[in-house]
Every structure is written in structure tokens, then in C-alpha cells.
Structure 1
Amino acid sequence: MDEYSDYLYNIYLTTVLSCDSRDRNCLSKLIGKMQQCTAKYLTIIDQDLTLKEFQFLVGHGNVIDLNIIDVKIVDENGKQLYLEDIVAMMPSIERISGDNIPTNEETLTKLLNVPFKSKFNKILLKSIIVRHFNPEKVIEFLKKNVSSDCKVSINFLQNVNTEQEIDQFAHTVYFGIWGFWKGNERPSFRLLA
């Protein structure tokens, strides 16, 4: 990007944004040259962003698909945003994929209060701490916010979570899905290794 940065200015980005760079500030530099962003499909990998920069990218409210891997988003006090803070800015979201998105004990409670405009049809979360995901609240979230053909995949941190915690979580969520959705139309759920 650096060799072309002098030629870029007043960018109006629509539809798709994809950024994967060894320079963790590459996207921040590009945002400084943007006039507006209305991208509905975002892929951001290995970037550091401020809350203001992230709001610039998603503030239009029409993001449908978000894929973020090893992205650090911090507020004006340097505090890192959690999954619920990030997703709450995108009421139209239908697909989310992420790796190393911070979560906490309040994540699901807060996500249950987000007024999404449509149902999720894909949720892929990696490097999650199982204690942050109460299985009963996961079931409640799924009942409220996913389509019957949604694909839900979760990968838990192995060095933080015990096998027993992960097994109990999976068992509870599987039975919750099978108990709520009837017939052949039900979300798929799997734990990733």
C-alpha cells in the first residue's frame, strides 16, 4: 500500500472490504484517506483499529458478513472491545467468522439484548473460552437469532478449557437445538478441533 498511498484520497468504498497485511496499521492508514465506507462484506485480518475507525467502517449499519481474525479494536481509553461490542454495531449482520475475538462472562447476556434485523445463517467463532459461553444462554441466543439452516461452529481454547467443560457445553447445546427445532430444518452445530 505504501508505494500507492500518495495517489489514494477521497476513497468511497462500497460492497467489499478485505484487508490482510503484515502492517497492523495498514487499514488505519487507508481509513484516513477514505471519504465514506458502505461495505456490506468485511474481512479484516491482523489489524489494529480504534473504535472510531471501526465505527467508520461499519457505522452505516448494513454490514451483512464480518470475518475478523486477530483484530484488536480499542476504545479511546485503550480498552479492547469485546464480541458483543463489535456485533452490536452491525444490526443487519447475518454471517460472522472470527478468531481471537475477546469475550467475557457478560458477552451472551449483552448479545441477547442486541436488536438484530435479520437472522444469522453462519456463526464461526474460534479461540473462545468455554466459561464465557453459558450453554443455556447460547441456546437462548440461537432460538432468538439464527435461521433454521444456520451453521454454528465453535472452537474452544484447549489450554484454558477442560475436556469435561467442553463436552458438557456441547451436550447441552446439541440437545437444546434438537429440542427446539423440529423436523429436518434445524441449525447445524459442531465443535471444531
Structure 2
Amino acid sequence: MPPEDLTRECKGCAGVVDVCLIPEIEFDLDQLVKHLTGIVEKKGHCVVCVAEGAGQQLLEKQTDDRTDLSGNPILEDVGRFLRRTFKSKIKDADLKYIDPSYMIRSVQTTTGDRILCKVLGQSAVHGAFAGFTGFTVGLVNTHYVFLPIPTIIQATRSDWEEEVAAAVHPLATRPFPVF
């Protein structure tokens, strides 16, 4: 799991993060630096969380449209770019850049995770043997259910709406999307 995936579930970082950069809202780099400087002056520190795909408009686009094995575009590493930018523009800051990918991958799974994965996997096999296609297995109201993939991908997530409602985004260069 890429470290940026942590912010796909923004609730996990809600109480700690001062600025959460997400791909759905473009931001101006100079405004971001100014905003971060203000937070550091006020609080003495600032925590920035960068979601996968955020800030891609700031990076040079690769000439080839590279994709991973799943067909998803390979995104540039905006975290390292932002670290270099912050170091050059905020001279007196003691900057820490944490890429938690190894910390995440090195943690043992819990018993609950193992059981969940086992039941989901077994349910998927049962569905396939029963002749179902184009489905996934999920947990809905404490029941394991078959879910049609088209239904899942067209549904909007309430997490996104909660993030927009909870976050103050003074850096947005365009209006928030309305769902």
C-alpha cells in the first residue's frame, strides 16, 4: 500500500493534521507555503498530510503515460517535491518528512484482520462457484454480502463529503465540487 493511501481514509488523521492535500482540490504552492508559515508561527508546528494524487498539477508531466499492472496511472511523488519546496522557502523550519510505507507493511496483522480476510476470500470463492460474476464481497450491517461492482463504483463516499465539510481549505484554487 503506498503511503499516500493513508489519506484515502481521512478519518484516521483527522485530529492531528493541520493541512490535508487531496487530489480533488487543486492548490497554489505559494499560498500553501504562506499558510503553513502562518500555522507554524501560531502553533509552533504544522502537520501536512498528502493524499495519493494530490498536487500532480505542480509536477512535470511524464511524456509516456505509464501505468501499473492494474492499469492505473503511475503518479509522481509529490511528497518529496513538497519537502524540497518547503525546505527552500521556509528556511528556519525543522522539517520532517515521514514516508510510513515500511511502518505500515511491517506491522503484523491482527486476528480480526485475518478472520475478515478469510471470510471475504471464502465468500468470494463461494460466489464464483455459484456462477456469479462482476461482484465483490463486503460487510454490510454485520452481514457478508455479494455486491455488484457497477453499483459500488458509482456510489459516492460520505467520507469525501465529511472531509470537505470538516476541513478548512484556504488554498483551493477552484470551488469545491458539489455532490
TM-score (norm 1): 0.25
Q: Which has the higher strand share?
A: 1
The structure with higher relative contact order (CA 8 Å, sep 6+) is 2
- Which of these two proteins has the greater Rg computed from alpha carbons? 2
Q: Which has the higher helix share?
A: 2
